[in-house]
């Protein structure tokens, strides 16, 4: 059993949580999103977030073209009206008193939830838990959202890229990579169910630290990096500054839309900016520049799949974390196939 490579529309991925929008993007108007090759419509009615397959049971028109009137979503094509539970409550062509066929109802996903400013959807019962990010609920931290990006890319290769440490001096030469050593330091890897963490400490030049300019701290400082991967595509990097104090958290959440398209959400949480919106805007712009460097490579792959078969690629000891990614995803596919 199992599969040799993971595509963006692998059916086994229906059994896990995926980000589909930022919470702020979903209001009373129907909002269409794509996930695993399928369209869903998101909306808020009566203060509650709802999601349905974006396909009217009558003639298949996208419901996201429709309008919301109070609790009711009306299809744009023939005006069928659907209540908050997805049941059809009115068919204009039949007049006001007609019986409504019981099959006239919208299909809801198995799971729908909001976490750290994002909407997550699981089409079928999820095999994996929906992760939390402690800093997102911590008043000392401010969040900064990099605008969501749609790219021709493989969701698996994007996750691989986020965990990869050997590309910094090459891909990120123009941003942070010039100061980085090419040799990947020895790191710790701890598997934890459908998740794992990778951590190491290293020295770096802290050019952002105001105390360096004042001469009260040396330029060469240390930081601890901890990557946390949660299956299938929920990634977090925590950077703790050991001399200067404070920490940066980068969340990277991937939405596999179609066979050749993904949406990428990056959010920063920082406790070292004293609520300075200018510095947060700078940090967000810098992160966007870093992401663009990664996307230059990620959008150029000929085949948009992540190999899961061990022998397809060459692995070195510097690639332990991205090999673990392949292992977790292969196990997830097998678990989904086993039911």
Which residues lie near ligand FES (CB under 6 A)?
Answer: 56, 58-59, 61, 75, 77-78, 80
Residue 295 touches which of ligand FES, Fe ion, none (CB < 5 to 8 A by kind)? none
Looking at the Cβ atoms of 134 and 289, the one nearer to Fe ion is 289
What angle do helix axes 277-298 and 155-163 make, rounded to 10 degrees?
Answer: 120
Looking at the Cβ atoms of 80 and 227, the one nearer to ligand FES is 80
Q: CA 81 to CA 66: how far, in whole Å?
A: 10
- Residue written as token pair 């039949």: 94
Looking at the Cβ atoms of 173 and 310, the one nearer to Fe ion is 173
Q: How far is the CB of 270 from Fe ion (least distance, A)?
A: 19
Looking at the Cβ atoms of 56 and 165, the one nearer to Fe ion is 165
Structural tokens at position 181? 């050593």
Residue 80 touches which of Fe ion, ligand FES, none (CB < 5 to 8 A by kind)? ligand FES
Which one of 65-73, 99-107, 147-155, 288-296 is the stretch in contact with Fe ion (CB under 5 A)?
A: 288-296
- Label residue 286 exposed, middle or buried (CB < 10 Å: 0-12, 13-18, 19+): middle
Residue 308 touches which of Fe ion, ligand FES, none (CB < 5 to 8 A by kind)? none
Residue 294 touches which of ligand FES, Fe ion, none (CB < 5 to 8 A by kind)? Fe ion
Looking at the Cβ atoms of 10 and 164, the one nearer to Fe ion is 164
Which one of 11-19, 42-50, 96-104, 286-294 is the stretch in contact with Fe ion (CB under 5 A)?
A: 286-294
Q: CA 245 to CA 282: how far, in whole Å?
A: 20
Contacts of 137 (CB under 8 A, 6+ apart): 116
Residue 87 touches which of Fe ion, ligand FES, none (CB < 5 to 8 A by kind)? none
Q: How far is the CB of 258 from ligand FES (least distance, A)?
A: 23
Q: How far is the CB of 45 from ligand FES (least distance, A)?
A: 18
Structural tokens at position 273? 């900016």
Contact 113, 12 (CB under 8 A): no
Residue 315 touches which of Fe ion, ligand FES, none (CB < 5 to 8 A by kind)? none
Contacts of 61 (CB under 8 A, 6+ apart): 55, 75, 76, 77
Q: How far is the CB of 67 from ligand FES (least distance, A)?
A: 12
Q: How far is the CB of 102 from ligand FES (least distance, A)?
A: 16
Residue 21 touches which of Fe ion, ligand FES, none (CB < 5 to 8 A by kind)? none
Structural tokens at position 94? 């039949």
Of 10, 257, 294, 319, the residue at the interface with Fe ion (CB under 5 A) is 294
Residue 297 touches which of Fe ion, ligand FES, none (CB < 5 to 8 A by kind)? none
Per CB under 5 A, 230 contacts Fe ion: no
Which one of 61-69, 151-159, 258-266, 287-295 is the stretch in contact with Fe ion (CB under 5 A)?
A: 287-295
Q: CA 22 to CA 119: how far, in whole Å?
A: 6
3-state SS track over 193-254: CCEEEEEEEEEEECCCCHHHHHCCCCCEEEEEEEEEEECCCEEEEEEEECCCCCEEEEEEEE
Strand partners, 21: 119
Nearest to 156 by CA among 316, 311, 13: 13
Q: What is the contact surface with Fe ion in residues (CB under 5 A)?
A: 294
């Amino acid at each position: 059993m199992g599969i040799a490579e993971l595509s963006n529309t692998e059916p086994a991925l229906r059994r896990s949580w995926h980000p589909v929008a930022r919470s702020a993007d979903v209001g009373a108007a129907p909002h269409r999103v794509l996930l695993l090759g399928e369209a869903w419509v998101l909306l808020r009615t009566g203060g509650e977030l709802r999601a349905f397959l974006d396909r009217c049971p009558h003639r298949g028109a996208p419901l996201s073209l429709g309008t919301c009137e109070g609790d009711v979503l009306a299809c744009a094509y023939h005006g069928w009206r659907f209540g908050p539970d997805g049941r059809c409550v009115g068919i204009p062509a039949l007049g006001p008193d007609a019986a409504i066929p019981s099959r006239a109802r919208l299909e809801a996903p198995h799971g729908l939830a909001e976490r750290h400013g994002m909407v997550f959807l699981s089409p079928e019962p999820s095999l994996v838990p929906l992760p939390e990010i402690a800093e997102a609920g911590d008043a000392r931290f401010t969040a900064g959202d990099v605008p969501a990006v749609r790219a021709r890319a493989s969701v698996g290769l994007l996750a691989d890229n986020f965990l990869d440490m050997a590309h910094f001096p090459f891909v990120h030469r123009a941003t942070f990579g010039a100061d980085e050593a090419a040799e990947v330091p020895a790191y710790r890897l701890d598997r934890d169910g459908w998740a794992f963490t990778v951590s190491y400490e290293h020295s770096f030049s802290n050019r952002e630290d105001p105390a360096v300019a004042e001469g009260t701290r040396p330029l060469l400082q240390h930081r601890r990096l901890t990557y946390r991967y949660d299956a299938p595509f929920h990634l977090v990097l925590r950077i703790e500054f050991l001399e200067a104090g404070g920490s940066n958290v980068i969340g990277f959440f991937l939405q596999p839309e179609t066979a050749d398209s993904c949406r990428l959400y990056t959010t920063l949480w920082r406790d070292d900016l004293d609520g300075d919106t200018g510095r947060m805007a700078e940090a967000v712009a810098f992160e966007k520049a870093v992401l663009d460097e990664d996307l230059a490579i990620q959008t150029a792959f000929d085949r948009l799949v992540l190999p899961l078969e061990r022998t397809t690629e060459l692995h070195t000891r510097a690639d332990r974390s991205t090999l673990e990614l392949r292992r977790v995803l292969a196990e997830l596919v097998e678990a989904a196939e086993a039911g």
